[in-house]
Amino acid sequence: MKLVLSTFGTSFATRERARELVQTLPVTTGSDEVRIDLRDVTASPSFMAELLTLLSSRYLGLSIEGGTDHLRGITFSLVERLGLSGRVRDLAKS
């Protein structure tokens, strides 16, 4: 599945917003991968932490594509801190 954040807005700041967004996604069997497209958006560390945590509990794998260097830096720093390094792929490096 592909999650294009820009279809939901351009600026994401709160954990609550991450929870609301994830609730709109289809329920899966836990065997799918989600591709998160960060192009054309800004997001706070708290939003990204909540989004990554919630998605990692629903999907076996996560892939990240697009986004500014700043947002990608935040995202992959959080991936490490949350212990998700083995489950999150950086499509820019593929």
Helix (H/G/I), strand (E/B), else coil: 88 = strand
pLDDT of the residue at 32: 83
**Would you say residue 94 has pLDDT above 60?**
no
Residue type, 29: T
Q: Which residues pair with 90 in a beta bridge?
A: 64
Q: What average pLDDT score do residues 58-82 get?
A: 95
Per DSSP, helices labelled H in the chain are 15-23, 45-58, 69-81
pLDDT tier at 30 (50, 70, 90 boundaries)?
low
**What is the three-class DSSP state of 61?**
strand
Rounded to a whole number, what is the largest CA-CA distance in the chain?
Answer: 33
More confident residue, 45 or 26: 45
Domains annotated on the chain, with CATH: 2-93 (3.40.50.150)
